[in-house]
Structure 1
Amino acid sequence: MIPPKPASRPEKTSLLRYMRLFRQDILSAQPAKLYRAWMAEFRTPFFRSYLANQPELIRLVLKERPMDFPKSNRVREGLKPLLGNSVFLTNGETWKRQRRIIDPAFEGGRLRDTFPAMLAAGQAAVERLTGATEPVDIEAETSHIAADVIFRTLFSIPITDGVASEVFRQFRDYQRVQPLLNIAAFVPLPHWFPRFHKRKTKDTARSIRNLIRQLTTERMEEIKAGTAPDDLATKIMTTKDPETGRTFDTEEMVDQVAIFFLAGHETSASALAWALYLLAVNPESQQQVAAESAAFNAEPGFSHLSKLRFTRDVFRETLRLYPPVPMMVRETIQPETLRNRRAPKGSQIVLSPWHLHRHERLWHRPDEFVPHRYQSENGKTCLREAFIPFSAGPRVCPGAGFAMVEGPLLLAILVGVFEITATNTPVPVAHLTVRAKDGIKLNLRPRQR
């Protein structure tokens, strides 16, 4: 079965039209030949960019010499109003210090501690969705579930809490008005030049950050009083940088919570929604997930997640077909030679999970939904060399392990209770993450035991 993907643009188009398409949706702005190319060069009057699909190039940029290819400031401009100087945007020594403080909170033992909160969020979702008689906009529901997980694991509060609920509501408004790229992605601007963010974008980002600041300030007071719960926020806020002995101050913590919410909620919501759609149009796979869910739900503990083997492969295949973050951009800090081409200093190196995960020279049946592919030699090889939904190397997402527990768990909880069918054919587009252009509408009916 071949699930939907956006139509590619014509091979030749003007720079102005390409910029317009790119700002609207970076997926459909790309030509079909990129699913076959090892590398492609794109020139503008202001800079050059190189799409790197060859595994050797990706390994060079992400694993072998990551400090020579820092995060691009061009992409940073569009996200700065909300994310400030979060670990997602910083480079160099600032980024290293942030990771030294953040990484311990996501170590294996901490994942076991967050499991009850994930389970509670999934069970709350079942209660909320039970009795639905009309097709459900599943993206809105998975956003609700994923946000609930984040608030429960980060601040030990459910999404029904007043502040948590307001952050979630305002973030939905922000997601609707915030393009993935700002004008600075295309035109080099001095640091003092205005970035032309929409007023609504800036106002909503400021409001979200004020709410997060309120949660963070309250938690700091609880830590001082010795009454803080042992959750992710407390762990991060009390961890000292082993090299400097410093902890995050309030504003630094606001930056980090903002990216935890964006990365941990928006990306998980995207992946879970597409996974449910893929199961809705693949009934045999849905039955296999339901069978695993029945065995797991009989004893739903962290140590029994291994029972969800096929469910995990479904989630992994969803991340391949619909990677929540479709493109990542790095920048050269010196002239480089890439596949015998000279890339000048300041070139943009685009690593595209969207194209890499569907590359015709790497994957067997690249556009098809095949969860069992990871048991084959091709699947195992590509998993090592051509699968980067969480990036790779030192800058791999610190929440990757968290997501690979959360995704299969929530998928099993929902499919174990509901029989799912689709009522529309969604077309993927890229906003902050890969979403459906007109939503994903699913029928949820109680599963017959």
Structure 2
Amino acid sequence: MTPPKPQARPDKVSLWRYLKLFRQDLLSAQPQRLYRAWMAEFRTPFFRSYMINQPELINTVLKQRPDDFPKSNRISEGLRPLLGDSVFLTNGDTWKRQRRIIDPAFEGGRLKDTFPAMLAAAQACVDRLRSQSGSEIECEEVTSHAAADVIFRTLFSVPIEHEIAAQVFEKFRAYQREQPLLNLAAFIPLPRWVPRFHSTKTRRNAKEIRALIGRLTTERAAAISVGQAPDDLATKIMTTPDPQTGHRFNTDEMIDQVAIFFLAGHETSASALAWTLYLMALYPEWQEKLAAEAQMLDEPSFAAVSKLRLSRDVFREALRLYPPVPMMVRETTCPERFRDRDVPQGSQIVLSPWHLHRQERLWDRPDEFDPTRWGTENGKKCQREAYIPFSAGPRVCTGAGFAMVEGPLILSMLLRHFRFDLIEGRTPVPVAHLTVRSKDGIWLRLVER
């Protein structure tokens, strides 16, 4: 049995049909040939885009010459109401300054410090689910709640039930449902003063989320000023000066960064965990292996996480099949020559983890679920060259190490206490909104062990 993926569109459709499909779901808008192509060109009346699916080209863009391929401003149009000038959207010196302040909070030693908060969130998720044993549950809702809880506990030392945290979570869910991955402005070049076609609801939700985050950051700044702030990620980031300039984030800058921490740390983890639970239901023999391994958590400690090897391999395989961020877009700052093809300045360069992770010329059995592949020569080679769920190079996700502790930990905690079973007629269909989610949710039957 092969895990589900979207049905590819025909190779040739009209531009307007393509734009309509792209806005609805950029995964099913792509033709089947992209799973084999090293490079593909797409032209609109306004710009050209080139999808690169060859490891050497991806290495050039992400690792060797990242400054020559900044993030495309077209893609940021849909996210700017919420994220402002966060590290996810900025480029150049601004981005480098932001990373110099943020990165120390996520260094290796800090992961051990955040583990108790992650464990508490995982246990809280288990406790919430006990009353639902025997019922059908929507897993994306469960994992979204758990991942949001992790973010608030590690960032601000408050659980998801905290008044402000709960409001941010609910308003973000509304934002996620309303906002497509790409705004119309991604396709049509517009001056900065032209309205960006965001719906009233999208703008209102973004404004309210940012106001709530502003309350949390203002309160934290006050606590820091009197020496009464907890030693969590928010305190670390707000008190870390740029080693080159001595500058610290002010409240507005911190709101931008917290917004992306919540988006990247909650939305992406929720997507990955939900798909992993579905794969466990689809392959019950693997679910039982992980449930047995999860007994390592009888005495939970940060050291125990390193023993969850099967859980880590399963989570890594879920990230391969269902990368939370399916596509990333860069822009050329000068004319390029890729695969004997001229790429003009200002072109959009699309890097697609979704297609790269299923590239038929690279991976053995690319559409199959096989956590053992990471121990094979093919799997090791592809992990180095064709596996970018967190991007790669200088712009690799700051929280990649954080996610690879959080994901296997929550997965193991859930499987230690519950079995997840398939429901007939409820096969999920992957679609891309802010992240790769299921069109109608991921529904499984929950059974307490």
Tell me the TM-score normalized by structure 2.
Answer: 0.99
Aligned to 1:19: 19
Tell me, what secondary structure is at the counterpart of 1:233? Answer: helix
Written as runs of structure 1 = structure 2, the 5 A alignment for 1:430-441 is: 430-441=432-443
Give the Cα–Cα distance (whole angstroms) in 2 for the partners of residues 105 and 292 of structure 1. 30
- How do residues 39-438 of structure 1 correspond to structure 2 at under 5 angstroms? 39-132=39-132, 133-294=134-295, 296-423=296-423, 424-438=426-440
Q: Distance in 2 between matches of 1:127 and 1:184?
A: 44
* Alpha-carbon distance in structure 2 between the residues aligned to 1:340 and 1:190: 33
Structure 1 residue 420: deviation in Å?
A: 1.0
Displacement of 1:131: 2.5
The CA RMSD over aligned residues, in Å, is 0.6
CA–CA distance in structure 1, aligned partners of residues 414 and 448 of structure 2: 10
Please give the alpha-carbon distance, in whole angstroms, between the structure 2 residues aligned to 1:436 and 1:379: 27
Q: CA separation in 2, counterparts of 1:307 and 1:24? A: 41
Q: Distance in 2 between matches of 1:419 and 1:269?
A: 19
Partners of 2:197 and 2:126 lie apart in 1 by 42
Distance in 1 separating the partners of 2:131 and 2:190: 53
Q: Say whether the 8 Å CA contact 2:34–2:355 is kept in structure 1.
A: yes
Alpha-carbon displacement from aligned partner over 1:153-199 (angstroms, at most 9, x marks no partner): 00000000000000000000000100111111101111111111111
| Count of equivalent residues | 446
Letter in 2 for 1:390: F
CA distance in 1, matches of 2:408, 2:29: 32
Distance in 2 (CA, whole Å) between partners of 1:272 and 1:217 is: 32
SS at match of 1:307: coil
SS in 2 for 1:40: strand
AA aligned to 2:194 is: F
Amino acid at match of 1:444: L
Q: Percent identity?
A: 70
Kindly provide the amino acid, as one letter, of the partner of residue 434 in structure 1: V
Question: Structure 1 counterpart of 2:100, which letter?
Answer: R
> What letter is aligned with 1:172?
R
Distance in structure 1 (CA, Å) of the matches to 2:265 and 2:399: 7
Check conservation: 2:390, 2:396, Cα contact below 8 A. yes
Superimposed CA distance per residue, residues 275-334 of structure 1 (whole angstroms, 9 cap, x where no aligned partner): 00000110110011011101x122211012121001100000000000000000000011
Q: Distance in 1 between matches of 2:71 and 2:399?
A: 18
Q: What is the CA-CA distance between 1:108 and the residue it aligns to?
A: 0.4
1:346-375 Cα shifts (integer Å, max 9, x gaps)? 100000000000010000000000011000
- Asked if 1 retains the 8 angstrom alpha-carbon contact of 2:356 and 2:387, the reply is yes
In structure 1, stretches of 5+ residues that fail to align are none
- Code of the residue aligned with 1:189 in structure 2: it is L
In structure 2, distance between residues paired with 1:317 and 1:36 = 20
SS in 1 for 2:6: coil
Q: Give every structure 1 segment of 4 or more consecutive aligned residues whose post-TM-superposition deviation is greater than 2 Å.
A: none
CA deviations 1:5-40 (Å, max 9, x no partner) are 000011100000000000000000000000000000
- Aligned 8 A contact 2:297 2:304 in 1: no
TM normalised by structure 1 equals: 0.99
**1:23-38 equivalences in 2 (<5 Å):** 23-38=23-38
Cα separation, 1, equivalents of 2:180 and 2:297: 40
The residue type paired with residue 387 of structure 2 is F
Q: Partner amino acid for 1:322? A: Y
Q: Distance in 2 between matches of 1:234 and 1:146?
A: 20
User: What is the CA deviation profile of residues 208-243 of structure 1, one whole-angstrom value per residue up to 9, with x for unaligned ones?
Assistant: 000000000000000001000000000000000000
Distance 1:209 1:298 in 2: 40
Q: What amino acid sits opposite 1:12 in the alignment? A: K
Letter in 2 for 1:210: A
- SS of the residue 2:306 aligns to: helix
> Residue type of the partner of 1:188?
P
Q: Which amino acid aligns with 1:325?
A: V
Bigger Cα displacement from structure 2, 334-343 vs 29-38? 334-343
Deviation of 1:444 (Å): 1.2
Secondary structure, counterpart of 1:78 in structure 2:
coil
Contact 2:185 2:197 in 1 (8 A): no
- Contiguous gaps of at least 5 residues in structure 2: none
CA distance in structure 2 between the aligned counterparts of 1:283 and 1:301, rounded to whole angstroms:
27
